[in-house]
Amino acid sequence: MNTNHTTRLCRSFQTAPAAVAKADTAKYLRSGLTAEGFEAPDWLVPDLEDGTAPSMKDAALENTIELLDEHEFAGEIWPRVEWSYDDARLRERGGEQIQSLVAEATESIDGVVVPKVGGVDDFRRVLTVLDDVTESAGVSSEAVGLAIILETARARSAVGDIARIGADSVLEAIVFGPVDYTAELGGRDLGDGRPRWDNVLEALSIETSANGLLSIGGPFDQLYTTRAGVTAYRADEYASQVEREAHLGLDGSWSLHPKQTVQANHVHMPRPAELDRAIDRIERATAALEDGTGAVAIDGQMIDEATIKNFRNAVSMVRTIDERAPAQTAAQYDDESLERARAIDISSP
């Protein structure tokens, strides 16, 4: 929920292996492209990288190009290609994958997701590849956006510089990749799981907000739990992670499953009570400011111009979702709240 990006929505960043060893190798990709309602991700990410086995990489690229051509998807499409700051072979394959996608699917994709980016030098290398590919394909250099996965120590160390340089480039989002990141740092699971790396999320929130970019949390890979013979989806645990991310100001969360997409889409939109409270506070505080009262106490809280900005954010977010996915806002809010959210003045005084 970045105020600089009310026009761009990425509550859910759902990766789908683009080819799996099943009768329908495009099973998961197809499922993502045809999802409806809250199951439809804001961004669908056909995965050509770690989620796809080495032997299936070619099929993955073919599936992506073919299915994107067949389906009309309401959200955005961002294939994840191969790359690594410390492996020239992977960078070469990533460059070829980008080239194929731009040549055969420019109209269908909004951008590409590049993993394992290193420091500033490697980030510039990614920008150069994108520039070269779009130039030789004869498309505008701005036709293909870039999202990078922050999952190396070098990228973490340089995230401020990368975001600043990225602000003047096609970079649109930074996504956290905790598994590779933990391996790079040598973090240990001593019985309580991987480190949560909340500080990385906070740094992402800061640097992307300072530079007009989107920030997306990392995947939650412990999807199910089995107890006494029954396997259950871990709904509470994933929702808690997404709530922590929303709390810190991240724009969206990574999803590995349609159920996770439903939850990410829900958490990253204001709850009904949150919207009503925001509208109420804006109205009462605006009235107080017009009376000549600078700061006003409402229910024991001191509210001034700064506080109201947070409430305006909530209303602005609801309006954006309302334009893109009116079925979701209709399901989430009652008619009266929605009408007030559409009508209230949220401009600065």
Site for a copy of itself in 218-257 (CB under 8 A): 219, 221-226, 231, 243, 246-251, 256
User: Binder to a copy of itself among 40, 56, 173, 216 (CB under 8 A)?
Assistant: 56
| Site membership for a copy of itself, residue 206 (CB under 8 A) | yes
| Site membership for a copy of itself, residue 287 (CB under 8 A) | no
Return the half-sphere exposure (C-beta side, CA atoms, 13 A cut-off) of residue 338. 15
The answer to whether 149 and 115 are in contact (CB under 8 A) is yes
Q: CB 257 → a copy of itself: shortest distance, Å?
A: 9
Closer by beta carbon to a copy of itself, 102 or else 275: 275
Q: Find the angle CA(135)-CA(140)-CA(145) to the nearest 5 degrees.
A: 100
Q: Which stretch binds a copy of itself (CB under 8 A): 34-42, 67-75, 99-107, 148-156?
A: 148-156
What phi-psi label fits residue 138: left (phi over 0), alpha (psi between -120 and 50 degrees) or beta? left
| Site membership for a copy of itself, residue 345 (CB under 8 A) | no
User: Binder to a copy of itself among 182, 319, 320, 324 (CB under 8 A)?
Assistant: 182
Of 69-98, binders to a copy of itself (CB under 8 A) are: none
Q: Would strands 301-303 and 171-176 be described as parallel, antiparallel, or unpaired?
A: unpaired
The answer to whether 341 and 28 are in contact (CB under 8 A) is no
Neighbours of 312 (CB within 10 A): 18
Q: Using the 8-state DSSP alphabet, how is residue 3 labeled?
A: G
Closer by beta carbon to a copy of itself, 146 or else 256: 256
| Site membership for a copy of itself, residue 280 (CB under 8 A) | no
The answer to whether 26 and 56 are in contact (CB under 8 A) is no
Q: Which stretch binds a copy of itself (CB under 8 A): 91-99, 127-135, 138-146, 182-190?
A: 182-190
The answer to whether 145 and 113 are in contact (CB under 8 A) is no
Q: Which stretch binds a copy of itself (CB under 8 A): 13-21, 36-44, 71-79, 106-114?
A: 13-21
| Site membership for a copy of itself, residue 136 (CB under 8 A) | no
Q: CB 136 → a copy of itself: shortest distance, Å?
A: 30
Compute the CA torsion angle 227, 228, 233, 239 (nearest 10 deg).
-40
Q: Find the angle CA(262)-CA(268)-CA(273) to the nearest 5 degrees.
A: 105
Selection from 269, 251, 245, 240 nearest residue 328 by Cα: 269
Q: CB 178 → a copy of itself: shortest distance, Å?
A: 9
User: Binder to a copy of itself among 52, 134, 261, 263 (CB under 8 A)?
Assistant: 52
User: Binder to a copy of itself among 209, 263, 329, 337 (CB under 8 A)?
Assistant: 209
| Site membership for a copy of itself, residue 64 (CB under 8 A) | no
